[in-house]
């Protein structure tokens, strides 16, 4: 597992009970997707002993963290935002090395993570309950929140900083202790975030970080001490987590895959729509659960839109994320590259046409793929199974009814987009598109951290959504209702 290229790699450790410790598992490494022979970080995976210690440390630390109070916990999150902002450029460069996304995309992710920490820190001074009238004149009814206890956080590699912050910040704000298992492809970014939280003053044992394969996450969610699990990843893994967590009554929040459609009507400017859509397909090399996978053009829009899309695909520049002129970086690993290539090949074998792809040569080394625009029919496998890369299929629909039917013909329901100037069409789309997030004249990708985020159907688990402050509070706490009735002191009784 080691090589000469590992000598300059960052050595990672696990954070357990406030101490940085080595794992007892197998040697592991993360690599640069643009230069796979180059190790970014090396470590030994966590074994059963480290996992057990992490859970026990969280259980031990949680009560004192709860008792610290909401406002003080908010202050610590605010300090974390300041520390993260101070390290922003170094972390962005590390993210580009370990993930492969372009440096502007990494910088934007760090900035969004800073903003998320500030947002949840500010929620510490918002109302934490509600009052209700009582039928008794000397009584007040109010709600209050208590933390779940210990929460398992399992995060993906595609947003190695932003998604963990979405989950960790509200979990900590509401008084939970955390055991965090990040994706194996981006462990160095995870360690930097854990360092930021420690430097900000999160007490020992409140945040525990264990690095390792998926089996480590399976062991974590199965622990009876875990009162809640928040997970973002594939629906296949999500089903396994659901089967382990739901029967014992723990809370579960999951955001899973997507097969997102964008409908384009004839009344919009095809060039303007193409500008938006290409970014939604290839941003972060298409490695977003919200990325546009199908473009459904209605009537004459198809013939007008396809050349505009093709022009933009052919002009895309693919290369290492650290290069200033790169628009599309590599995919995360060789397995992902092969899966994307196989999916495109299968689509062509099933009758799809390759309309356009990036025209320049791919770099000799690295996990690079050509961003590809296909044209085909809804029956294609690629129109039903999610392909996690910069590939999209253009489809033709006769009218809006058929376009909505095609868009909804998937087991997923994460995002949908509708491009039109017709308000009646907008109302129809909002009512009938099966998606938890619907964008009008804007990309499928992107969301505001203060608005709820989540999907429908197999894209999610029915639980409070991510990001929004109220939704986060609903997930990371239990609510109690208290009836507070005053009574006269004993000595005043007759």
How far is it, in rounded angstroms, from Cα 463 to Cα 465?
6
Question: Are 268 and 441 a contacting pair, CB within 8 Å?
Answer: yes
DSSP 253-287: EEE----EEEEE-TTS-HHHHHHHHHHHHHGGGG-
Give yes or no: 289 in active site.
yes
SS3 351: coil
Contacts of 462 (CB under 8 A, 6+ apart): none
SS3 145: strand
User: Residue 68 has which token pair?
Assistant: 């610290």
* Buried residues in 200-235 as b, exposed as e (16+ CB within 10 A): bebebbbbbbbbbeeebbebbbebeebbbbbbbbeb
Catalytic residue among 94, 103, 289, 382: 289
User: Residue 100 has which token pair?
Assistant: 């492969």
Burial of residue 88 (number of CB atoms within 10 Å: 0-12, 13-18, 19+): middle
Burial of residue 457 (number of CB atoms within 10 Å: 0-12, 13-18, 19+): middle
How far is it, in rounded angstroms, from Cα 55 to Cα 223?
8
The residue assigned the tokens 């630390």 is 61
DSSP 302-341: HHHHHHHHHHHHHH--B--TTSTT-SB---SSHHHHHHHH
Question: Are 239 and 215 a contacting pair, CB within 8 Å?
Answer: no
How far is it, in rounded angstroms, from Cα 293 to Cα 30?
28
Name the DSSP letter for residue 460. Answer: B
How far is it, in rounded angstroms, from Cα 479 to Cα 174?
12
**Cβ neighbours, 10 Å, residue 76:** 21
Active site residues: 289
């Amino acid at each position: 597992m080691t090589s000469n290229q590992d000598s300059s790699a960052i050595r990672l450790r696990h954070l357990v009970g406030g101490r940085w410790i080595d794992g007892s598992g197998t040697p592991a490494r993360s690599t640069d997707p643009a230069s796979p022979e180059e190790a970014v970080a090396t470590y030994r995976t966590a074994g059963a002993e480290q996992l057990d210690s992490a859970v026990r440390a969280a259980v031990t630390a949680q009560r004192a963290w709860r008792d610290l109070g909401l406002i003080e916990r908010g202050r610590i999150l605010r300090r974390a935002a300041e520390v993260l902002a101070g390290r922003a450029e170094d972390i962005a460069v590390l993210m580009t090395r370990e993930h492969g996304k372009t440096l502007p995309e990494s910088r934007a992710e760090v900035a969004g993570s800073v903003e998320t920490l500030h947002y949840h820190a500010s929620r510490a001074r918002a109302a934490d309950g509600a009052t209700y009238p009582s039928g008794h004149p000397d009584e007040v009814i109010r709600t209050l929140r208590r933390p779940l206890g210990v929460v398992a956080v399992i995060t993906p590699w595609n947003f190695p900083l932003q998604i963990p912050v979405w989950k960790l910040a509200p979990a900590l704000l509401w008084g939970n202790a955390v055991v965090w298992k990040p994706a194996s492809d981006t462990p160095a970014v995870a360690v930097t975030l854990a360092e930021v939280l420690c430097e900000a003053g999160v007490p020992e044992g409140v945040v525990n970080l264990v690095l390792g394969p998926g089996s480590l996450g399976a062991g974590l969610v199965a622990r009876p001490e875990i009162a809640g699990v928040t997970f973002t990843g594939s629906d296949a893994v999500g089903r396994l987590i659901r089967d382990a967590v739901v029967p014992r009554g723990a809370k579960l929040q999951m955001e899973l895959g997507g097969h997102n459609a964008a409908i384009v009507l004839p009344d919009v400017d095809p060039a303007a729509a193409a500008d938006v859509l290409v970014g939604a397909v290839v941003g972060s090399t298409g490695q977003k659960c919200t990325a546009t996978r199908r473009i459904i053009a209605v009537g004459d829009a198809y013939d007008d839109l396809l050349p505009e899309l093709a022009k933009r695909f052919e002009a895309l520049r693919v290369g290492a994320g650290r290069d200033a002129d790169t628009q599309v970086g590599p995919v995360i690993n060789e397995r992902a590259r092969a899966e994307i290539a196989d999916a495109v090949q299968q689509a062509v074998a099933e009758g799809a046409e390759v309309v356009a792809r990036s025209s320049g040569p791919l770099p000799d080394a690295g996990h690079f793929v050509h961003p590809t625009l296909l044209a085909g029919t809804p029956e294609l496998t690629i129109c039903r199974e999610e392909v996690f890369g910069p590939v999209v299929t253009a489809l033709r629909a006769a009218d809006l009814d058929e376009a909505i039917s095609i868009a909804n013909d998937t087991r997923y329901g994460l995002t949908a987009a509708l491009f039109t100037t017709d308000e009646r069409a907008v109302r129809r789309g909002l009512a009938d598109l099966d998606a938890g997030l619907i964008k009008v004249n804007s990309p499928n990708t992107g969301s505001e951290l203060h608005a709820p985020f989540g999907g429908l159907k197999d894209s999610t688990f029915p639980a409070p959504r991510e990001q929004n402050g109220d939704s986060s509070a609903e997930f990371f706490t239990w609510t109690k209702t208290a009836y507070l009735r005053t009574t006269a002191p004993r000595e005043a009784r007759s």
